[in-house]
Structures are given as structure tokens and as C-alpha cells.
Amino acid sequence: MTKKTIREYDGPAGGWDSLRSVAKHLMAQDVAVRGARTLLSMNQPDGFDCPGCAWPDRDHASTFEFCENGAKAVAAESTRHRAGPQLFARYTVAQLAGYSDHWLEDQGRLTTPMRYDAASDRYLPVQWDQAFALIARHLNGLDSPDQAIFYTSGRTSNEAAFLYQLFVRAFGTNNFPDCSNMCHEPSGVALKQQIGVGKGTVSLQDFEQADAILIFGQNPGTNHPRMLGELRDAAKRGAAIVSFNPLRERGLERFADPKDKLEMLHSGSTRISSDYFQLKIGGDLAAIKGMIKHVLERDAEALARGDASLLDRDFIAAHTTGFDAFAADVAAEPWPTIVEESGLAEAQLRRAGDIYLQSERVIACWGMGITQHKHSVATIHMIVNLLLLRGNLGRPGAGACPVRGHSNVQGDRTMMIYEKPPQEFLDRLRDVFGFEPPRAEGYDTIGAIEAMGDGRAKVFFGMGGNFATATPDTAATHRALRNCDLTVHVTTKLNRSHLVHGREALILPCLGRTEIDVQAGGPQAVTVEDSMSMVHLSAGINPPAADGLLSEPAIVARLAEAVLGTRNAIRWRWLTEDYDRIRDLIARTFDEFHDFNTRVRVPGGFRLPNTARDRIWVNPAGRAVFNPHPVPTDNPIHRARVRRADMPVFNLSTLRSHDQYNTTVYGLDDRYRGVFGERRVVFAHSDDIAALGLGAGDWVDLESLADDGVRRTARRFMLVAYDIPRGCLAAYYPETNALVPLSSFADEARTPTSKSIPVIATPHQPRPDASAPAPRDIPAALVR
């Protein structure tokens, strides 16, 4: 384990350190040799899609693209470590629950279906058929199908997701909470309202032509490392790259591309951001409105001089609605409010506005720094408002780019893993499959936790993911899961969700994406959709981690047979003998997937149509919409500061370290932020640390100040002095999820507000009853 140190990291992102880090992770998983071969077939035409992130790859590439964190994701899946029945024989569930998330993950791949035995508090091996029969007994014994919940994480392939939603709707519910509910949901909601499609409009080719790339609330050096390659090329040809981020992030500053032999040999690197605006947490709406205000003021001046308008007036007239009311709202917003709420000076915002004005083609990218606030939908509206002003949508080199997380999260939603399916889709399902699907909206992630908590839901089924740890309000979520009659997880590795279980519980181990999936019809490939709507094939190359693992489609098919029996004419198992059969059904259900099997076999796959890209606006207005929003001044953070005027109230953002994949903790380092060997840290401005009467290296407890008055704490975090605005704190997810109130979510999209939590920090007090065992539903790591 790395020695605990905090020091400034002055190298570029990427570079030799990146290669060293991959070598270390491959060694740790004992896959140095096979792993290296595996890496070479990642994102190749006949290889598998990287399970890392949803960033697209060039033409589903012919050249090997090195990505440190993609390599770690692959190493984690192709590990030689095994969490077989012996592991479960050795430990009770209570004992396993005492270990850290990192340790659980490190036990390796699950090999055998396991069933919880309450008498011994252990998981015992179970036959697949018995497992499916147990689930069928529970599901068929419910008073209503709506008492069951079917979660999905975003690694699930299109084929598995399509079958899964088909089974669940044939069973009778739309209860489909998914990771998207905690992630890019506001992007889908805002874009759908405004431009008629809930997806981004750009392609990689647009990145080659953009004159300016604006990056809001995203840390690509860690979370989408392949994006750095595009940014580097853009920077080299002189495009402006403008970052908006409260934290100084190394990957947004300098990058050394491990593919570039010269750069590596000479230890050179490329500057990424031309401008870096360190705004306050949650200050983006104000900042963008400030930029827009500047643009409109400059335009008015130009018009007054008799010059041409600086806006794309033709585009505004032909394609948009609401401009006049929007412009009036912007004019009425006072600069002092904009400056106060964004944390940026008027001159900085005018500078950002000038970059926008000087750039012919502009792309705006965003990530979780935008989507996990109360005003996320409004902020995305403001990003699109900015783009619309100069027609930066639906033309080359310009557009909206929400950068998705999980490698197939966008595809899962396209396959209608969605709690609010449109009625036309349900009609189509009825026509193609001959059953009447449920029409009522289902539970999203927050709704599911509430329903399990108060007993409206009794069965939880998770297709991947780590629900217990990824969700907000850890204590409430754990209570909810424990309140279930049955919890089931289809999964590759052990995680906390398996230990926070219902009265009965199952762990169902499945194949990973890197593995060969052999069905009756021979080896199978699946398909995924990346963040830019490209659909392509993915075929594993490694032997399965254990004999007897089932693929996700096979698990769904066997479950559907066990639950539905002859209630339904769908030939589930026959479908999974050859995934082409599933793809044929996808083609019959969704017009945009016509000739799916043929088109997806063209190397590189195909792009799904995007109406906004063609300047066709399929929303009620039939036009792109300018959406005015006031700068928010009454969010939870403002209210908490009024309530607790006696002490500093901070706005806490929860984010990812460099050595984790969501709840999967690969290691304890966060190299680019200079943190080694420790995850319980909180980044703060040195003046704020001093104002607390403390020093860097001191330990604090955090308490969130929610409007609902419930006391939520997370204990023992080490203060790290960091380049971050005053009043703002940052700490890692999921250690801080206990602080996120279930009742605090994005307007209209219900994403938990995990990027803006009002908190107070007090010197760490060891728990007075430290000798007493912690309650079983709280991970030990949280209460030390």
C-alpha cells in the first residue's frame, strides 16, 4: 500500500507516470501478461468496447489508444483473483461488512451463484435453477408487479438491456431506476425540452473543427482520459479550450500523450486549457448568464454603431423561439448578483464572453459538476441558450456535448431502461410482442429508495452496479434495502450492496465484457452506444472467469422463463442462443435500428440519427427554445447559511479520485491532486482551514445542513489545502454519500444534489462509544 503523503503534483496528466500506474495495477491483479494482450484488443474492430467510460473512440479504432483508466477498468475485470464459495465460507456477512469497499473489490471475480442463509449469516452456493425459482416465487407472490424494483447500471449491453426491459414490462411494471437518475438525467430532460433530443449533438469530427471548446464541471484527465487526446489536438491547432471548474484539475492544464513518442522521450507536454475559470461550486448558471449578458451588451453596441449583429440573427429567426423574453431577462439580471453567485469577477466573465464571440464554431461539454445540483436543468438550459445565440448547434464544429459516464448508459436509455416510457413506445411494444405493457410511470432511484423504505416495494433486483453505495443518504438507503423481502444482484464482483441485503438475498455472477460469451449459436458479440450516439459491436477475448458464469442476456432469459412460464409467447431462451435474434427484435421495435445486424457489422458501426443535429426540432414548440432562468439565490446552500450564521457553512462537492471507478476503489491514490495512500480527505482553501482554527493535516467531521432538519454526518476527513475558492469543499464519493439528503435533488430531473451539499466542519471527535460495535447497516469505514 502507498505511504500516506500529500504533495503537489507538478507533472502533466498522462506521461510516464500514467504507464507506471497501469503496470502497477496489472501486477496487482496478476494479469501482467494476459492483461497487456487484453489491452491491445480494446476498442478494436473485432475486440471489446472499453468498459471504462462512454467517450467514443476514433472509428472504433484501428490504432491502439492508450488510456490509463481504461486499462485499470480492464485489469480490474480480468483479475486472476477469485471470490469463490471458499471466501463466503470463511466469513459471515457481518464480518464481510466490516471490510472496506476496496478490500471487497480486491477479493476478485465472483464464480458461483450464492444464496443468503440467515441461520449462519453466510452466503451459500445455490444452483442457478433454484435461484431463478426463488426469484419467481417472490415476484409471483407480490400483490402487484409495482412492488418490485429493477435497477440497471450503465455497463449493461443493448441486448441485455432490451431483453431486461421486455421481461420487466411483460411482468408488469415500469420500475426502472438506473444510474442515469444519479448522473446525466438533467441533460436528457433539459435537452429534450429545448432541442427535442435528450442526447448530445456533436461527433469527434466536430472536435477537429471547433474554434472553442468550453468544458463545464468535468475532469477528463481522470474520468475520460481519451478525451484529452482530442483536446490536445485542438489545443495544438490553436483552438481555445476554456475550463470552468472550482478545482484546479491537472488533466485540464497539461497532458503528455503516451502515444506520442517524441513528447514522451523529451518529457514534453501540451497545454490544454487556454483559460481556466475557478468559479464557485454551483456557480455555473450565474457564470454563463454573465457571459450571455456580455455577448448581448456587445451586440447592442455593434448594432448601435450600425455594424452587423454579433448574433446569428437568421438562425434565431428561423429556428428558435423565446429570444426576446430571454434577452429581457438577461438584461434585468444585475451584474453584482452574477458576480456574487458565480464567484468570478465581471472582467473574467466578459473575457469568457469575448472568447465565445471570437470563435466561429463552439462546442460546450459538461459533466457531473453541472448535473448534480438543484438547478442542474436550468444550468444546462443556460449552456444551450449560449450556444443558440450564435447558431452553434447543428453545424460542423459546434454543438452540445454532455459527456456520459458508464460505457453503455446512453444505450440502456435508448433501449428504454426508463421509468417514464413514452406511450408511443409502449404501443409499439404491444404491437410487436402482443402483450399490454404497464402504462403508469415507475420509480426512479429516489422513488425506489422511498418505496423500499416504507414497504411499498418488497423485491430489489440489480442488473449490475452498487446501489447501496452509489445512492444518496447511506443510512436511509441501507434501511430501505434491509426492509426488502428479497434483494438480488447480477454482478461481476463483490460489493457492499450484497452485504446490505433483504430477508432473502442472491448474488448472481455474470460474464464481463472482456470475456468470450459462447451460446448455443457460437461465440456472441453485444452492442453498445457511446456518448456520441455511435453503436458498435463488442466481443470479449478472454476465457470466462469461471465455469458456469452466465451472460446477462442468458440470466434475463432464464429468469423470464421462470417468472412468466407460458404467460407469454416470447421464446426467451431461443433468443439468447444467437444475439442476432435479439437485435432483430430491437430493429422491429425501434425504427432507428433498422437493418441492425447488417449495419452494426460495418467496421465502426453506425450513428443513430439526431434530429437537432439536422436542425429539426421535435419538441412541442417545433423550435429550439431560449429558456430564461434567474440566478438562483435561494438554494439549500443559501438557506443553510442563513440558518447557521454563527459559523462557516461550506458548499461540499463530492467527486472521483484518479484511482476509482465510481464505487469501485482500485487504490488509495489521487495522483493528479497530489494525494497518496488516503481517501478520507477534504480539499479546502488554506484561508478557510485557518479560519476554522485548524491546519492542513488536521482531521474534521462533516455534518450536512439539510432543509429537512435530519442530522447526517460523515466522520474523520483530513484537511488538504487546495486551490479551490473560499467557501467550497471537495471530498470523494462514496465516502461522503451519507451526507446527501434523499430529499435534495435537481428540479425536474431528481438527480441527487451530490455536488452541492451545505456542510459544517468541526474538529474530529472520536466516537464517544468507540468500543461499542457500529450499527451493522453503516459501513465500518464511515464511522471509525
Ligand X SMILES: Nc1nc2c(c(=O)[nH]1)N[C@H]1C(S)=C(S)[C@@H](COP(=O)(O)OP(=O)(O)OC[C@H]3O[C@@H](n4cnc5c(=O)[nH]c(N)nc54)[C@H](O)[C@@H]3O)O[C@H]1N2
The residues of the shown chain that bind Mo ion, judged by CB under 5 A, are 183, 405
Kindly tell me which residue out of 171, 244, 572, 717 binds ligand X, with binding defined by CB under 6 A: 244
Q: Is 510 in the site for ligand X (CB under 6 A)?
A: yes
Q: Which residues, numbered 360-389, are part of the site for ligand X (CB under 6 A)?
A: 367-369, 372
Assign 713 to helix, strand or coil. strand
Note whether 512 binds ligand X by CB under 6 A.
yes
Residue 218 or 524: which CB sits closer to ligand X?
Answer: 218
Q: Which is nearer to ligand X, 216 or 676 (CB)?
A: 216
Choice from 357, 362, 377, 490 touching ligand X (CB under 6 A): 490
In whole angstroms, the minimum distance from the beta carbon of 428 to ligand X comes to: 27
Q: Which residue blocks in 602-747 are alpha helix, DSSP H?
A: 636-643, 686-691
Which strands make up the sheet holding 459-463, listed edge to edge? 122-125, 114-117, 504-509, 486-491, 459-463, 148-152
CB of 399 to ligand X, least distance (A): 18
Which does residue 438 bind out of Mo ion, ligand X, none, counting CB within 5 to 8 angstroms by kind?
A: none
Cα–Cα distance for residue pair 128/332, rounded to 1 Å = 64
For residue 293, the tally of other CB atoms under 10 A from its CB is 22
Which of ligand X, Mo ion, none interacts with 411 (beta carbon under 5 to 8 A by kind)?
Answer: none
* 245 is a contact residue toward ligand X (CB under 6 A): yes
Least distance from C-beta 755 to ligand X, angstroms?
Answer: 4
Site for ligand X in 208-227 (CB under 6 A): 216-219, 222-224
Residue 488 CB, nearest approach to ligand X (Å): 11
What angle, 0 to 180 degrees and rounded to 10, lies between the N-to-C axes of helices 68-77 and 15-28? 0
Kindly provide the b/e burial profile for residues 332-368, where b requires at least 16 CB atoms within 10 angstroms of the residue's own CB: ebeeebbbebbbbeeebbbbbbebbbebebbbbbbbb
Which three cell numbers mark 468? 447501496
By CB under 6 A, tell whether 740 contacts ligand X: yes
Q: Within positions 52 to 111, which residues make up the interface with ligand X, using CB under 6 A?
A: 52-53, 69
559: closest CA among 157, 155, 148?
A: 148
**654 touches, from Mo ion, ligand X, none (C-beta below 5 to 8 Å by class):** ligand X
Tell me the closest approach of the beta carbon of residue 300 to ligand X, in angstroms.
Answer: 28
- Output the smallest distance, CB 269 to Mo ion, in A: 28
Cell of 296: 448581448
* Helices within 57-198 (DSSP H only): 68-77, 85-90, 93-97, 101-106, 128-140, 158-171, 185-195
State the minimum distance, in angstroms, from the CB of residue 157 to ligand X: 8
The values of phi and psi at residue 428, to 5°, are -65, -45
Which span sits near ligand X by CB under 6 A: 227-235, 243-251, 340-348, 629-637? 243-251
Interface residue with ligand X, options 467, 579, 606, 722 (CB under 6 A): 467
491 binds ligand X (CB under 6 A): yes
Residue window 574-613: x/- pattern of binding to ligand X, with contact defined by CB under 6 A: ----------------------------------------
Among 12, 14, 442, 464, the residue binding ligand X under the rule CB under 6 A is 464
Q: Is 536 exposed, middle or buried (0-12, 13-18, 19+ CB in 10 A)?
A: buried
User: What CA–CA distance (Å, rounded) separates 740 from 721?
Assistant: 23
* Closer to Mo ion by Cβ: residue 218 or 704: 218
Candidates 315, 593, 672, 733; binder of ligand X (CB under 6 A) is 733
Among residues 489, 526, 528, 524, which one has the least CA distance to residue 510?
A: 489
> Degrees (nearest 5) of the Cα angle 308, 309, 315?
120
Which burial class, exposed, middle or buried, applies to 120 when counting CB atoms under 10 A from its CB (0-12, 13-18, 19+)?
Answer: exposed
Residue 694 near which of ligand X, Mo ion, none (CB within 5-8 Å, type-dependent)? none
Nearest Cα residue to 110 out of 97, 100, 125, 120: 125
Scanning residues 273 to 292, which ones bind ligand X (CB under 6 A)? Answer: 281-282, 284
Count of positions on this chain that bind ligand X (CB under 6 A): 60
Pick 179 or 624: Cβ nearer ligand X:
179
- State which of positions 533-552 bind ligand X (CB under 6 A): 552
Report the candidate in 731, 732, 718 with the shortest Cα–Cα distance to residue 662.
Answer: 732
The DSSP code for 454 is T
Binding to ligand X by residue 179, rule CB under 6 A?
Answer: yes
- Alpha carbon 162 to its chain centroid, in Å, reads 20
C-beta closer to Mo ion: residue 67 or 182: 182
Residue 733 C-beta: closest distance to ligand X, Å:
3
Instruction: Read off φ and ψ for residue 494, nearest 5 degrees.
Output: -70, 135
CB of 65 within 8 A of CB of 229? yes
Q: How far apart are CA 286 and CA 370, in angstroms?
A: 12
Closest CB 104 distance from ligand X, rounded Å: 8
Rank residues 348 and 663 by Cβ distance to ligand X and give the closer one. Answer: 663
Q: Rank residues 145 and 405 by Cβ distance to Mo ion and give the closer one.
A: 405
Of 169 and 184, which has the nearer Cβ to Mo ion?
184
- Candidate list 376, 466, 589, 753; residue touching ligand X; CB under 6 A: 466
Quick one: what does residue 458 bind among ligand X, Mo ion, none, with the CB cut-off 5 to 8 Å set by partner type? Answer: none
Cα 624 to the center of its chain, rounded Å: 26
Q: How far is residue 255's CA from residue 264's CA, in Å, rounded to a whole number?
A: 11
- Cβ contacts of 731 within 8 Å, gap of 6 or more: 652, 654, 655, 681, 682, 683, 702, 717
Number of Cα atoms under 13 Å in the Cβ half of residue 624: 32
- Residue partners of 27: CB distance under 8 A and separation at least 6: none
194 interacts with ligand X by CB under 6 A: no
Quick check: 554 binds ligand X (CB under 6 A)?
no
Here's the x/- map for ligand X, 468-487, by CB under 6 A: it reads as --x-----------------
Nearest to 637, CA basis, from 760, 487, 553: 760
Give CB contacts under 8 A, 24+ apart, made by 187-191.
Answer: 187/366, 187/370, 187/371, 187/380, 187/402, 188/413, 188/749, 189/377, 189/748, 189/749, 190/376, 190/377, 190/378, 190/380, 190/381, 190/384, 190/749, 191/380, 191/384, 191/400, 191/402, 191/612
Find the shortest distance in angstroms from Cβ 662 to Mo ion: 7
Q: Are 588 and 432 in contact (CB under 8 A)?
A: yes
Q: 650-679: which residues touch ligand X (CB under 6 A)?
A: 653-656, 660-664
Please answer whether residues 188 and 198 qualify as being in contact, where contact means their C-beta atoms are separated by less than 8 angstroms: yes
747 CB burial (10 A radius; 0-12, 13-18, 19+) = middle
- Nearest residue relative to Mo ion (C-beta): 405
Q: Which one of Mo ion, ligand X, none is in contact with 78 (Cβ closer than 5 to 8 A by kind)? A: none
| Contact yes or no for 187/402 (Cβ under 8 A) | yes
Q: Which lies closer to Mo ion via its Cβ, residue 56 or residue 405?
A: 405
Residue 22 beta carbon to ligand X: minimum distance, rounded to whole angstroms: 12
Q: Judged by CB, which is closer to ligand X: 252, or 316?
A: 252
Please identify which residue in 495, 568, 619, 635 interacts with ligand X, judged by CB under 6 A. 495
Per-residue contact flags (x/-) with ligand X for residues 402 to 421, judged by CB under 6 A:
---xx---------------
Q: Which is nearer to ligand X, 584 or 703 (CB)?
A: 703
Contact 374, 753 (CB under 8 A): yes
**Closest CB 752 distance from ligand X, rounded Å:** 7
Binding at 492: pick from Mo ion, ligand X, none (beta carbon under 5-8 Å per type):
ligand X
Question: 162 contacts which partner out of ligand X, Mo ion, none, CB within 5 to 8 A by kind?
Answer: none
As measured in angstroms, the least distance from the Cβ of 509 to ligand X is: 9
Which residue ranges make up the site for ligand X (CB under 6 A)? 52-53, 69, 153-155, 179, 182-183, 216-219, 222-224, 244-247, 249, 281-282, 284, 367-369, 372, 405-406, 463-467, 470, 490-493, 495, 510, 512-513, 552, 653-656, 660-664, 733, 736-737, 740, 754-755
